[in-house]
Amino acid sequence: MSNIFKITCPRCKKLFDAGSAFNAHIESTRKEDAKKAKIEAEKKSKSQIDTLKSELVSKDKEFEKIKKESDEQAILKLETKYKDASKKKEKENEINNRRLSERLEKSEKQNQEMQKLLKQKSTEVQGEVQEELIEDFLRRKFPTDQVTPIKKGEKGGDCILHILDQNKKNIGEIYFESKDREKIFQEKWIDKLLKDMQNRNIGYGILVSVALPKDFEKDSAYVSRHNSILIVPMSYQLIHSVVSFIKSELVQKSKNNKDFDAPAEMKRLWSLVTSDQFHLALRNLFLKIIKFEKSLLKQKTFFEKNIADQENILIDMHDGLKKVVLSFRSKIGNVLPDKLLEPPKEK
């Protein structure tokens, strides 16, 4: 036994034989150390895991906080952006609405002007159509006579019908004017027509009017003014009858002048005295006299009233002066001369 080799365990200081017992002890010790190391490693790993978990939890909370703050900022940014966008959109809508309103207003104004222009143009066209219809009617019904339209823009009526005899000699004219727009008849149309007739030295005038004077009777064909102007409704049958009547008078006058047996000078004088132009000139002169007479009468009435008013003022002044003198005498006495208020004697 003493000869057997002995080995001391460096860990536990236990003495072993150099054989299998020592190896078994080493294996056991190694396992135990490995077990302890495992346990220590597990503890250390668990501690590290717990620490990591704690750090992760802390970081997670911090992340959530940061995330929450970021979300709030993002929301604020979105709200601010939305509000700015809304304000911008409202401003754009306001500008667009204003522009649209201005365009609509401008369009409405243009539409009104266009409607007014179209209405005016329609009325003008309607008037021109009536004028042309009357001209065409006269040409068809009186082919042996001549129709001369008055140029557009020239002062005057619509057209002139020249009555011609068998030798195509002009023996008289009829002046035409039409009124188809106005609804109320105005006597000033007659004054203008009479003046136009005199300027053109025409003895007869026919006013074709939709509006008729108050003295026009339904059963009548026309109403006369100044023995030279006939007012007729817009009726082709009546226009034909009136023109035929005037034409027959002109033809008869022309024939009478030719059949009149007298010296040439007397014939010219007779032709002048019996002419429609001479009658129209006398009529116009008479109308001017009447107009001047009315104006003079109006001025006379004004002056008479003015003088009467001044006379009343003078009477009031006399009465006032007498009252002052009487009041003075009643309080002071008769100190004023008796003849103080007597008028002076005329020399």
Sorting pLDDT into bands at 50, 70 and 90, what band is 323?
confident
What would the mean pLDDT of 6-31 be, rounded to a whole number? 64
Please indicate whether residue 138 or residue 131 has the higher confidence score (pLDDT): 138
Sorting pLDDT into bands at 50, 70 and 90, what band is 205?
very high
pLDDT digits (tens, 9 = 90+) for 74-117: 667 666 766 777 777 778 888 887 887 787 777 677 667 656 65
pLDDT(181) > 90: no
Using an 8 Å Cβ cutoff, are 186 and 157 in contact? no
pLDDT digits (tens, 9 = 90+) for 303-312: 888 888 888 8
Torsion over CA of 194, 200, 203 and 209, rounded to 10 degrees? -50
pLDDT value of position 125 = 42
Sorting pLDDT into bands at 50, 70 and 90, what band is 265?
low
Please indicate whether residue 245 or residue 129 has the higher confidence score (pLDDT): 245
pLDDT value of position 162 = 94
C-alpha radius of gyration, the chain, whole number: 64
Please indicate whether residue 118 or residue 286 has the higher confidence score (pLDDT): 286
pLDDT value of position 79 = 66
Percent of the chain with pLDDT over 70: 61
What would the mean pLDDT of 219-241 be, rounded to a whole number? 86
pLDDT value of position 1 = 42
| Mean pLDDT, the chain, integer | 75
pLDDT(124) > 60: no
Please indicate whether residue 262 or residue 113 has the higher confidence score (pLDDT): 113
pLDDT digits (tens, 9 = 90+) for 20-71: 565 666 677 777 767 777 777 677 667 766 776 676 666 666 666 665 656 6
What would the mean pLDDT of 244-251 be, rounded to a whole number? 88
pLDDT(18) > 60: no
pLDDT(165) > 80: yes
* Strands of the chain, DSSP E: 6-8, 15-17, 146-149, 159-164, 170-179, 204-209, 223-225, 229-232
Sign (positive/negative) of CA torsion 308, 310, 311, 317? Answer: positive
Using an 8 Å Cβ cutoff, are 224 and 136 in contact? no
pLDDT value of position 118 = 47
pLDDT value of position 175 = 93
pLDDT(215) > 80: yes
pLDDT(144) > 90: yes
Please indicate whether residue 269 or residue 313 has the higher confidence score (pLDDT): 313
Distance (Å, rounded) from C-alpha 179 to C-alpha 207? 8
219-228, 274-283, 325-334, range with the lowest pLDDT? 274-283
What would the mean pLDDT of 161-174 be, rounded to a whole number? 90
pLDDT(264) > 70: no
What would the mean pLDDT of 149-166 be, rounded to a whole number? 83
All residues at 6 or more sequence positions from 195 whose CB lies less than 8 Å from its CB, including other chains: 284
What would the mean pLDDT of 170-187 be, rounded to a whole number? 88
pLDDT value of position 107 = 64
Residue environment code for 90-114, b if the CB has 16+ CB neighbours within 10 A, otherwise e = eeeeeeeeeeeeeeeeeeeeeeeee
pLDDT value of position 163 = 92
